[in-house]
């Protein structure tokens, strides 16, 4: 076994964000760049010799090249086995499922999630631990520390592995098994949901469209929806994964998923629409000419959970990220179960799930999941909705409006300002924070500021502290404005502004969210000086 030890020097800014390291493909293609980060992952781990690692990605450009490097480095560093998705493909939820099913030591996921792909697009890599979830902060901090002092990495000089054919081979002393990327995940979904009732729903003439956005979920959705559940052929659109996502932006929102939106808001719209993202962990839910916000979706799944076989005995609790609306909190109160408010990033849900404190989790960024995995799961959410629709025999809009009538409506929206000059964005946040001492008790129109802070979180399981997680301004009437700089982009900065207003009056539930939030939208700019610092007259994306 020809193990080479290659001398190297650190790269600046190899710091993992909320979902690993994301950069332009051109940066990852620099000599030693990928290798440095992979070795830094390995150097942060203990007791992995002879253990199993799962490797796969969303199929974007550079995915297969990176996998060959990772396999050779895993073998050189002493891993005993690697489970690799055929063609190098595994959705992020599937990686989590496979780690858990086969008791793997961990996994490496190659994805930049909802970011664009292709030679000029983005690439990403992250490490998942043995529970199937993203590495917690103590590990990502160790990875970053290692990346800033690295001076060598280890790799085997050997031929590339054939990723096209299922079966076993070896790299050095490490066994490599190329596995069906869909089978284990599909089997898990059959255990969770009532497939027979969903089949009957489709047999009754129910119509839907699922937009895979030429990303990883195409094969998963085609097998589960069309083959196993009997949805008509063609239900899955843009179902062939492409290395550049067909030139599109694989982000399931009202702007990027325009093909689906045009269908669902057009004449003769199907009864149900859904989309997922680049790596399969996000979802967008639509009814006929009706959009369901991710925050409402989480609350509705929680309120209807006992209709689902896997959750028929009820929920232990609910967790949501801080910027996600408080809609799920109202459900938790009604069910008399605990709820938790965490920072953004799925890794913060892992301890709560492992400790049995919560069953469902969600983020406003189109991510929902449960204790079946330790990742958010786009197709799982779609199947959850289908199971509810089969059980209740009502439209998406009727289900949502009945939910609002029972629990009240949290008018909610996220405004994204993308590609903002990073220094200007940071100056905006610094200036905003400097005003916080003067804001409590100040009146803006009919609203009076009750509190403002930079959100921090104490993990109730391991008591670790996460600070500087987003600026919050809360008003006495319960409305909120939240400002965050996103860590998922690769160019400039993305300023996210979250706006929320709770309304009990059923007579006002029909209002458009942007109309209902109009005064908060204006106030958000007034307080933070968004236009002044960013130069933007309006957001890049509104959801």
- List, by residue number, the catalytic residues: 113
- Dihedral angle sign, alpha carbons of residues 111, 117, 118, 123: negative
**Gyration radius (Cα) of the chain, Å:** 23
CA distance 27 to 153: 18
Contact 315, 305 (CB under 8 A): yes
Reduced to 3 states (helix: H, G, I; strand: E, B; else coil), residue 60 is coil
| 3-state secondary structure labels for all residues of 488-528 | CCCCCEEEEEEEEEEECCHHHCCCCHHHHCHHHHHHHHHHH
Own/partner long-range contacts of 99-102 (Cβ < 8 Å, ≥24 apart)? 99/54, 99/128, 99/130, 99/131, 99/132, 100/131, 100/132, 100/373, 100/374, 101/184, 101/188, 102/52, 102/54
CA angle 377, 381, 382 (to 5 degrees): 120
| Whole-angstrom distance, CA of residue 535 vs CA of residue 461 | 42
CB 520 within 8 A of CB 499: yes
**Would strands 480-485 and 493-503 be described as parallel, antiparallel, or unpaired?**
antiparallel
- Phi, psi for residue 196 in degrees, rounded to 5: -65, -40
Residue whose structure tokens are 């560093």: 77
Contact yes or no for 441/356 (Cβ under 8 A): no
Helices vs strands, H then E, count in the chain: 18, 27
């Amino acid at each position: 076994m020809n193990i080479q030890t290659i001398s190297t020097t650190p790269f600046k800014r190899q710091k993992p964000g909320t979902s690993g390291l994301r950069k332009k493909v051109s940066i990852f293609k620099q000599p030693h760049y990928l290798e440095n980060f992979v070795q830094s992952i390995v150097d942060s781990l203990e007791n992995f010799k002879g253990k199993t690692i799962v490797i796969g990605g969303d199929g974007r450009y550079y995915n297969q090249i990176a996998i060959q490097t990772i396999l050779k480095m895993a073998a050189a560093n002493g891993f005993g086995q690697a489970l690799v998705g055929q063609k190098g493909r595994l959705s992020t939820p599937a990686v989590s499922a496979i780690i858990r099913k086969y008791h793997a030591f961990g996994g490496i996921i190659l994805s930049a999630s909802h970011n664009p792909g292709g030679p000029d697009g983005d690439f990403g890599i992250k490490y998942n631990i043995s529970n199937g979830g993203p590495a917690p902060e103590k590990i990502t901090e160790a990875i970053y520390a290692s990346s800033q002092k690295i001076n060598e990495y280890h790799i085997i000089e050997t031929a590339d592995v054939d990723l096209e054919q299922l079966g076993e081979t070896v790299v050095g002393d490490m066994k490599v098994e190329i596995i069906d990327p869909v089978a284990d995940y599909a089997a898990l979904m059959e255990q969770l949901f009532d497939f027979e009732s969903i089949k009957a729903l489709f047999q009754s003439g129910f119509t839907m469209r699922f937009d895979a956005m030429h990303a990883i979920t195409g094969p998963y959705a085609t097998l589960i929806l069309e083959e196993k559940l009997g949805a008509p052929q063609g239900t899955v659109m843009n179902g062939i994964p492409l290395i550049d996502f067909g030139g599109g932006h694989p982000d399931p929102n009202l702007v990027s998923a325009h093909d689906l939106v045009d269908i669902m808001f057009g004449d003769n719209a199907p009864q149900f629409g859904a989309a997922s993202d680049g790596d399969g962990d996000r979802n967008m839910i639509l009814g006929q000419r009706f959009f369901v916000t991710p925050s409402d979706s989480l609350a509705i799944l929680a309120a209807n959970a006992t209709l689902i076989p896997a959750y028929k005995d009820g929920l232990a609790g609910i967790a949501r990220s801080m910027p996600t609306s408080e809609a799920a909190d109202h459900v938790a109160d009604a069910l008399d179960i605990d709820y938790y408010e965490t920072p953004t990033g799925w890794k913060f849900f892992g301890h709560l799930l492992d400790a049995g404190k919560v069953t469902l989790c969600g983020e406003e960024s189109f991510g929902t999941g449960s204790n079946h995995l330790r990742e958010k799961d786009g197709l799982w959410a779609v199947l959850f909705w289908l199971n509810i629709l089969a059980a209740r025999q009502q439209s998406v809009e009727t289900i949502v409006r009945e939910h609002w009538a029972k629990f009240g409506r949290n008018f909610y929206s996220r405004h994204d300002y993308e590609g903002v000059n990073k220094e200007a964005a940071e100056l905006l946040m610094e200036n905003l924070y400097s005003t916080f001492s003067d804001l409590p008790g100040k009146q803006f129109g009919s609203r009076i500021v009750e509190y403002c802070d930079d959100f921090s979180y104490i993990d109730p399981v391991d008591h670790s502290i996460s600070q500087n997680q987003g600026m919050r301004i809360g008003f006495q009437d319960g409305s909120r404005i939240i400002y965050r700089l996103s860590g998922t982009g690769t160019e400039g900065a993305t300023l996210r502004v979250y706006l929320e207003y709770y309304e009990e009056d059923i007579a006002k539930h029909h209002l458009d969210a942007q109309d209902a939030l109009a005064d908060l939208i204006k106030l958000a700019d007034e307080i933070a000086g968004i236009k002044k610092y960013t130069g933007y007259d309006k957001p890049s994306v509104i959801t």
